[in-house]
Structure 1
Amino acid sequence: MPLPPDPADPADPADHPDRLGPYRMVRCLGRGGMGTVYDALDTSLGRHVALKLIVPELADDPDFRARFVREAQAQASLDSPHVVQVFAHGEIDGRLYLATQLVPDGDLGAALRRHGRLPVAEAVDVVAQVADGLAEAHRAGLVHRDIKASNVLLRRRGTHTVAYLADFGIAVPARGDAAVDDVRALVQLLREVIADAPGAGPPRLARVLREPPTTAAALRDALRAGEPARPSRRWPRRWSRRWLAVACAAGVACALAPVAGMVDRRPPEQDPVAALARSLEQEAGLDPATARCTARSLAATHRTEELEDLPVDDVLGAAAACLWRPTRR
């Protein structure tokens, strides 16, 4: 994983190879206790990576090797836009290496040292992204055990910052309250990075700091939610915005209210197909006949419980088939 550059790096130039297998070194990003990290070009794929070369004395330690492999495998098993990706690991010419996604703008700890604490909105956004990555790790059965600012890497995209959770070197299978400890550490990180006085910011932030959630997913959702969530079926939140945009562009007649203000106004119904048809009519603007046709079509290809969490493409395909079915002569 990338480290902040160190202009005063006293390392022996012999420890800085120009090339390792398919990797051509571009510049040294920094050094740590485990080794040196480079911005390197993977010539086999034509992309830049963060290449960590482990110091020989550690690479020769069997216990360290086991931990090193665990770090690589732990990160490689995760699928999240907020966890640093592992591309490859192993040994080339006697050098133990780890090739990961290159995150070019340093870590959160270095950013705090340079620029100070973050405004509330930015702090909440960054920590919510890290919570999203941590939730994926916990879902996969891994706990991080070392949540801190230096293990959060940053990428600046215009006015937005993308955060990545890094360094799973001491990650272990989740046991007991270890995952809860991760969440507590992340809430503590949130306290440390906020520039404003306690009590400042939106009410949801005060609630999180006063009564922290016990799961990473709940922490992410609490930080991202503008208001407390209203009970509702899951599928409208998942597909309605994209469905409406695509469907309307294709010519579907849509009586649009602001999508962000949609709430579930359906009365309870025993028949899930009728409930789905009513939602399609009221929330997606389909005419009653098309809504019923779409609901029946989806019910024929999905189990009843799946009707509450339908993929976008399935709904759009069923509606399109009902809207543009051939007219009988």
Structure 2
Amino acid sequence: MRAYALAVLMLAGCAGQQSAMHAAGDQASTLMSLFRLMMWVCGIAYLLVILFLGWGLIRRRSAADTSEQPYHKLMVGWVGFILLGLILLVVASFLADRSLGQRQQVPLQMRVTGHQWWWRIEYRAGNGRWIETANELHLPVGVPVLLELRAADVIHSFWVPNLAGKMDMIPGKINRMTVTGRTSGWFRGQCAEFCGTQHANMALAVKVEPMGEFERWLAEQARPVSPGEGVAAGRKVFESASCVVCHQVRGTEARGRVGPDLTHVASRRTIAAGTAPMTHGSLRGWIIQPQAIKPGTSMPPSDLSPQDAEAVASYLETLR
């Protein structure tokens, strides 16, 4: 029973929305093809080693058989196989690396910046403006997207296993990678470089969707908050509290750049980079005591009264 349970757990990593074995993008498919080739070459070599070992253990040379000729032939054949396998893997690795590093013309450009412990994401709109969101990356199906990867504090690493390989995000340096999603749906990314106490709670939700849906979503994200939008009481509290120092809500007096942009925060699936679901209770708890939900986060505890925190949570729920 334990062996069965262990096998189930191991196989669970071969599929799903955070598995490199379930390729959903061109770059992940390239890496998966290289992995399969390596497994075949190494698997055949391992099998041959086991067969030769078994043959050597069970074979008994007769006293009259003193010829070393068969062993010389086997040795030559084995060395030839090793060289052939190494050449095959080197060539395949070179071609895969060349494919992944190719700087093709891409119609879309996005910026992803790693913070402790969340993701700032910026999209270049059709008019050249940059539209900012957080913790959710939207990609159109079949369209190559150039990602500019940056880090605001410490070294992070961008990794969405279903779509592409890992790439480090280093302070003061811009790394670039092209991602082409081929399968619609939600996928999960993760910071792959230990970056502090909440490294495990630095998730990235990625949605690959048809181009039409992506364009509609981006147009909605580009829209600022209208003057009469939202719960009036909560908006008043939000704009008069310290929230505006760190957060931005386009179309209001909130223009902070320290924390995530909250213009359409309620349209996201989670808060705090995947730490809690996007619900009224989670918003209220995050506003009152974020350290209880994500210890070590840069957001300080709020000095709002329970009534004011409730009003701000109700206001944020309207920002879709």
- TM-score with structure 2 setting the length: 0.24
Larger-Rg structure: 2
